Amino acid sequence: MATTRRTGQDRVPPHPDITTITLQQVLEALVDPVRRHIVGELYSARQDLSCGTIDLPVSKSTATHHFNVLREAGLIHQYYAGTSRMNGLRRDEIDAAFPGLLRALVAGRGD
């Protein structure tokens, strides 16, 4: 008997439209140094990265929480590639909505 298999798309919650995101939401997401580190890694990599690729000083469940906050703030999109949850920076959309913000935060001195 065939089992129902959920697709990757089913497993990733919806992403907000960037036009609904406020600067306040973006800053609340990026004031956290772990989340800023994730965004910095994606910014530098210039490619999508799986959650496990980004070295973080927190537990896996805490890391998952941080990735979720970033997705809910419109900063990253998430999808599955096989069993890996992939993360991509929504760079063009963010740059259009908040010009210069990403670069200023990623280029910023220290954490």
Q: Do residues 28 and 73 make contact, with C-beta atoms less than 8 angstroms apart?
A: yes
> Of residues 3-22, which lie at the interface with its own copies (CB under 8 A)?
22
Longest CA span, the chain: 58
Q: Cβ contacts of residue 26 below 8 Å, gap of 6+?
A: 73, 74, 75, 94, 98, 101
User: Six-digit token pair at 40?
Assistant: 């910095």
Give least dist CB 62 to its own copies, A.
18
Under the criterion CB under 8 A, does residue 33 sit at the interface with its own copies? Answer: yes
Map the footprint of its own copies across residues 56-95, applying CB under 8 A.
none
1 binds its own copies (CB under 8 A): no
Number of helical H runs and strand E runs in the chain: 6, 3
Q: Given the complex with its own copies, which of 20 and 59 has the nearer CB atom?
A: 20
Q: Select 67 or 98, whichever has its Cβ closest to its own copies.
A: 98
* Contacts with its own copies, residue ranges (CB under 8 A): 22-24, 26-28, 30-31, 33, 36, 97-101, 103-105, 107-111
